[in-house]
Amino acid sequence: MLSRRNALGFLSALSAGLAVRAHAASAAEAAGAFVKTTGDKLVAVVNGAGSLDERRKELMPIIDSAVDVQGVARFCLGRFWRTATPEQQQQYTQLFHGVLVGNIAVKLGDYRGVKFTLGRTQDRDDGELVSTVIERPNNPPTTVQWLIANAASDPKIVDVVAEGTSLRITQRDDYASFLTRNNNSIAALLDAMRKQVSDNS
Q: What is the pLDDT along the chain (201 residues), one digit of tens a residue?
A: 445 555 445 445 444 443 444 445 588 999 999 999 998 998 888 888 878 778 888 888 998 999 999 999 999 999 999 999 999 999 999 999 988 887 776 665 566 788 889 999 999 888 999 999 988 888 888 898 999 999 988 999 999 998 889 999 999 999 999 999 999 999 999 999 999 888 876
Q: How far is CA 96 from CA 2, 15, 90, in A?
A: 60, 45, 10
Q: Name residue 120's amino acid.
A: R
Cα torsion 177, 182, 185, 191 to 10°: value is -90
Q: Which residues contact 42 (CB under 8 A, 6 or more apart)?
A: 59, 62, 116
Q: Which domains, and CATH codes, for the chain?
A: 4-200 (3.10.450.710)
